[in-house]
Amino acid sequence: MDPTSVSERENVTLTCRTKCTLDPITGYSWYKNGQPIPNSNTYSPVYRLFSVSSEDTGRYSCAVEGHEDLPSAEETLTVTCKNMGFKPLVCYVNIVVKDISCKCKRIFKSTVFFTPDSPRNTSVSASPSGEIVKGSSVTLTCSSDANPPVDKYTWYKKNVTSPKASGQSYSITNISSEDRGEYYCEAENTIASKNSTALMIIVAGKQTSILTAAVGIIVVVLVLILCLSGFMWFR
């Protein structure tokens, strides 16, 4: 109780304490002499008495809303009035509300609610990214946010009617120029389905071909240099 002593017409604060783990939003009920106090329900463990008087004398207790069968022990609020000579009547108030029994630990449960939602933010990523060399491999991965989670992934190539594969990942091995094109996935849960944006796969020539071409150019340049040198020597 705060404050511990007050004068008549001042305010008193009652606090309901517990060691139990409660939900973030918990209601409290307050009682006087075993009867509910009208309009006393609150989502705060604090209950205030404004402008106290002798009529506020009584036994007070509190309980967690919905579990009124486990109230705190009753504590008596005593308003003692003394005549202080010619001064106005002064009242002293003392009250402490004891802790609520932690039996409530056995009955409080956390409940998680969710709103079903169709797949969203569906996208495709490739590993490795960028140009893919002929004869190598690439793995496409589909990701999507959904509640409940996605339970089916289907892969498509643009302008091709039939699906290419199923599953969250799709691997293309020994890739060739025929595999060049745009790929996308369809993510589906029990609510609906959603297509990703298409990802372009670019297939480049083999690295060995590039190396061979480079060597060929070097050989041609060397031959030209030798020919020019021989021509100059002959002259």
- Domain limits, the chain: 12-106, 117-206
What pLDDT shows up at residue 231? 53
Asked whether 63 and 14 are in contact (CB, 8 A), the reply is no
Closest CA to 55 of 12, 16, 87: 12
What's the mean pLDDT in 155-161?
93
225 φ, ψ (degrees, to nearest 5): -65, -45
Q: How many helices (H) and strands (E) does the chain have?
A: 1, 17
The segment with the largest mean pLDDT, out of 85-89, 192-196, 219-223, is: 192-196
Q: What's the pTM?
A: 0.43
pLDDT of residue 7: 62
- Minimal CA–CA distance to 108: which of 224, 22, 8, 233? 22
Residue 168 CA to residue 150 CA, distance in Å, equals: 9
Highest-pLDDT range among 50-59, 116-125, 158-167: 158-167
Q: Give SS3 for 24.
A: coil
For 85-95, write each residue's pLDDT tens digit: 444 444 444 44
Distance, in Å, from the CA atom of 196 to the CA atom of 193, rounded to the nearest integer, reads: 10
Could you tell me the fold of the domain covering 117-206? Immunoglobulin-like (2.60.40)
12-106 and 117-206: identical CATH topology: yes
Domain 12-106, second-level architecture: Sandwich (2.60)
- The answer to whether the CB of 140 falls within 8 A of the CB of 198 is no
16 burial via Cβ count (<10 Å: 0-12, 13-18, 19+)? buried
Q: pLDDT at position 90, please?
A: 41
Average pLDDT over residues 66-77: 80
Q: Is residue 113 scored above 60 in pLDDT?
A: no
Task: Please check the confidence at residue 52 and state whether its pLDDT lies above 90.
Answer: no
User: Is residue 71 within 8 Å of 86, Cβ to Cβ?
Assistant: no
